Structure 1
Amino acid sequence: MALSTETRDKLKTVSTATLCTALYKRGLRNQFIQDVHPLDPSKPTMVGEAFTLRYMPAREDLNGLEVFRNRAHPQRKAIEDCPPGAVMVIDSRKNPRAASAGGILVTRLMVRGVAGIVTDGGFRDSAEIADLAIPAYHTRPSAPTNLTLHQAIDINVPIGCGDTPVFPGDVVVGDSDGVVVLPSHLADELATEAVEMTAFEDFVTEEVQNGRSILGLYPATEDKTLTDFAAWRKISGR
């Protein structure tokens, strides 16, 4: 099911933390990609459907510089095929010792309208990528070319990224905390629930800032909390 504009817009207003809680309620505990970090935490929230690239360990005789003469090389083809509005997610085997991509390839994604890029490896040209108008997430900077250790092998297949399963078309959301992956069939209901949860959390934050105890407030185990929340929503238009 394609990601709707309405759901995309909702997801841009909620946090990965809130989405992780909503996923937990549904028994999904392993949807937050481990050990990836934003190159620029101030970037707007990243939202898009997953388009995947899988690396395997490189076999040296098959992974020389001449492989890039092939216009169908999986890494180069993925950069040109990733749809506008999608998020490229790379399975780099949690190995940042060689780069998953660099500034030129990520610039190409940005120019093509891709919504973001995530790898459980590292990027070269990381300072340059951080300055680009595209959200990017990795483990740490890495200067060696991907050919050193990684052999690009598959495009848009199920992968693991940071120990999290990612299927093509899953909805990927990234913020300053990191990246969460939403199963595509749950994206609409998760977005709606997260918007509601965010409204309640904003109410709770205001109450706590005003000196109120969290007991009975968070979670809302007292009727007064729900009554106060309803009045807050009416006043705030939330």
Structure 2
Amino acid sequence: MSDYRISAADRETLSHISTATLTASLIKRGIKRGFMQGVHPIKPGLTMAGHAFTLRYIPSRQDLVDRRYDNSTNVQRLAMEAVGPDQVLVVDARRVIATGTMGDILAHRIRERGCVGVVTDGSLRDTPALRAMDFPIYLGGAAATPSHTHHHPVDMNVPVGCGDVAVMPDDLIVGDSEGVVVIPNAMAREVIDEAADQEELENWVVEQVKTGRPLQGLYPPNEETKAQFEAWKNSQ
């Protein structure tokens, strides 16, 4: 694990940076698969940023199901009592959407513990109640079927795959209305700083386009455009 820890200032900054801009910054650094596939916000309009705390499921088996309600050994329940402040619960459900991975009671519990969001490439149960929580949740689908019909929890806070993206514990997980991007912890500081600058530039470019300015030399910006942008920034 690396040393980056999210601050309140960084969380505020990230709430104004799109996952598209962050993904582009990762691609510049050789990370071509940082944006999760098939994972969508349960309630667009919310944003999320925190460190990954992972939960991994394998396919269910009957002898394992029979022990599922032992809260002292059930890894899912242990994870709910281990995830904490500034963390995002990332659930590796193998992209199985036929059954839920958790529901509203567990979501309320982890939010009370300070967890800042949930991401899974599987389904969730109780989605109407989850949507009403105004809690950042990203999922592959909705299913009323309980998790034990298809899933067995085996590990927490280990490397997982979610939405066809590798997730390491403590990676920075950022979500917006488009989806979720995973930023390696060691790259987080430089990616945030670069993406914040790029987002400001692109917002300025949009305003220029609205005035009727053509794209040539504007996007991508040539040296003259960059100078104009810097002059505008200095005037603010």
Q: Deviations over 1:201-235 (max 9, x none)?
A: 011000001111111101012x3211211122123
Question: 1:57 aligned to 34, 40, 59, which one?
Answer: 59
Question: 2:15 aligned to 9, 12, 16, which one?
Answer: 12
TM-score by length of 1: 0.95
Task: Show structure 1 runs of 4+ deviating over 6 A.
Answer: none
1:142 paired residue number: 143
Could you say what secondary structure the match of 1:68 adopts? coil
Give the distance between the partners of 2:194 and 2:12, measured in 1 at CA: 14
- Give 5+ residue unaligned stretches, structure 1: none
Could you say what secondary structure the match of 1:227 adopts? helix
* Cα distance change on mapping 1:4 and 1:103 into 2, 3 Å: closer
Give the distance between the partners of 2:227 and 2:157, measured in 1 at CA: 48
> Does residue 94 in structure 1 map to residue 95 in structure 2?
yes
Corresponding residue pairs, total = 233
- Give 5+ residue unaligned stretches, structure 2: none
Tell me the amino acid that sits aligned with residue 28 of structure 1: I
Match runs of 1:173-188 below 5 Å: 173-188=174-189
Could you say what secondary structure the match of 1:193 adopts? helix
Tell me the amino acid that sits aligned with residue 37 of structure 1: H
Match runs of 1:108-187 below 5 Å: 108-187=109-188
Could you say what secondary structure the match of 2:57 adopts? strand
Deviation at 1:172, TM superposition (A): 0.1
2:105 paired residue number: 104
Deviation at 1:58, TM superposition (A): 0.5
1:217 paired residue number: 218
* Cα distance change on mapping 1:80 and 1:68 into 2, 3 Å: same
- Check conservation: 1:110, 1:133, Cα contact below 8 A: no
Tell me the amino acid that sits aligned with residue 187 of structure 2: L
Q: CA RMSD in A?
A: 1.1
Give the distance between the partners of 1:55 and 1:174, measured in 2 at CA: 22
